[in-house]
Amino acid sequence: MSAEPSLHHTDVASDAPATGDGAGPAKNSGNPQSARSRRNRRGRRRRGRRSGRPTETKRSDSTAEPAQAKTGTDQAPKPSDLAARKQRAPGNTSNSPASMPRNRRRGNRRTGEPDQAPKLRTVRETSAGGLVLSDIEAPFDDLSAALIGRVDRRGRTMWSLPKGHIETGETAEQTAMREVEEETGIEGTIIAPLGKIDYWFVSEGRRIHKTVHHYLLRFTGGELSDEDYEVSEVAWVPLTELPRRLTYSDERRLARTAESVIADLRSDPSRLAQSEASCVRTEPNDYEKAAAARNQRRNEPPPPVKPRRRRRRPRRPATGDS
């Protein structure tokens, strides 16, 4: 009788040491492929034990399981993998540009909220005003200045120095004298410049940057009056009380500057006369002309905003199977 075929395959031969009774393969069988496979299996078993992963088990062909069971991972496929397989399926056109939802360009891309309100129109305004002294020759403690009071939206009286916009053909000094007379009812002449302040505020849907040039004036005549529609109250206030009476911090700083300027002018009579003569101007300079033109355009309606033309992106070619 012919010998029965061996039930053991070559690649799953026993790892036990060979014995001399012929029960297993010889120690030196001379087959290098079987010896190499045994070494590879030993290395895989050792690496599996080190990393804590379960070792693979050899199953017969009749009880073979899917590929994921052979690899030792019993996890279910990820949703992303299933979606990728579905997109790669033949005849699927769901990933074509025509079928993709269009991105909404309007509104906030992150939150989906509508666009914010349009930016406010920025306007530049230039004004001039002054601090009118009752009598520059009087003692310092007896000096008084004319202030105006305006009522704000909350019903509070805001005390400030008289001032107004520069008009066409006027110098800043002429504007200061005119505004003082219109808002307080008294007349004055320019003695010396005090400086300028600038600030920002929002009014009537516009963002306004305003610059005000201030001058020191000498009282020459007239009486206090609040007939101006923008003024609710006028008063003579002692010069020493201006830092506490004035509402705005910039004008309080100007009041402190005025004290030092008055002290310098009173110390030298020739300096006072020279300063007063230098402030007499009748022709506006280029800056004053440009400021008057800006002030004249401040009440004009803003130019119409041209709609932005949207640039259409080229459509990407379809990636589906033709």
Tens-digit pLDDT profile for residues 30-65: 565 666 666 666 666 555 555 445 444 444 444 444
Q: Name the CA radius of gyration of the chain, rounded.
A: 47
Q: Looking at the domain assignment, is residue 135 inside a domain?
A: yes
pLDDT in tens, 211-269: 999 999 999 999 999 889 889 999 999 999 999 999 999 999 999 999 999 999 988 88
Q: Which of 301, 91, 318, 279 is nearest to 171 (CA)?
A: 279
Q: Looking at the domain assignment, is residue 207 inside a domain?
A: yes
Q: What are phi and psi of 227, to 5 degrees?
A: -70, -20
Residue 16 has pLDDT above 50, yes or no: no
Task: Provide the pLDDT for residue 2.
Answer: 43
Helices (H), the chain: 32-51, 67-70, 79-88, 172-184, 242-245, 249-267, 269-278, 286-296
CATH code assigned at 128: 3.90.79.10
Residue 22 has pLDDT above 80, yes or no: no
Q: What's the angle, vertex CA 227, arms to CA 222 and CA 228, rounded to 5?
A: 105
C-alpha span between 60 and 137 (Å, rounded): 121
**Total of domains in the chain:** 1
Q: Looking at the domain assignment, is residue 231 inside a domain?
A: yes
Residue 27 has pLDDT above 60, yes or no: no
Task: Provide the pLDDT for residue 120.
Answer: 83
Convert 143-154 to b/e letters by CB count within 10 Å (16 or more is b).
Answer: bbbbbbbeeeee
Q: Looking at the domain assignment, is residue 168 inside a domain?
A: yes
Q: Looking at the domain assignment, is residue 307 inside a domain?
A: no
Q: 310 falls in which pLDDT band (50, 70, 90)?
A: confident
- DSSP at 22: S
Q: Looking at the domain assignment, is residue 78 inside a domain?
A: no
Q: Looking at the domain assignment, is residue 234 inside a domain?
A: yes
Q: 297: how many CB neighbours lie within 10 A of its CB?
A: 10
- Reading the block at residue 202, the tokens are 């929002």
Task: Provide the pLDDT for residue 304.
Answer: 72
- Reading the block at residue 173, the tokens are 């000094």
Q: Please give the residue range of the domain that contains residue 157.
A: 121-295
Q: Looking at the domain assignment, is residue 62 inside a domain?
A: no
What average pLDDT does the chain have?
76
Task: Provide the pLDDT for residue 25.
Answer: 43
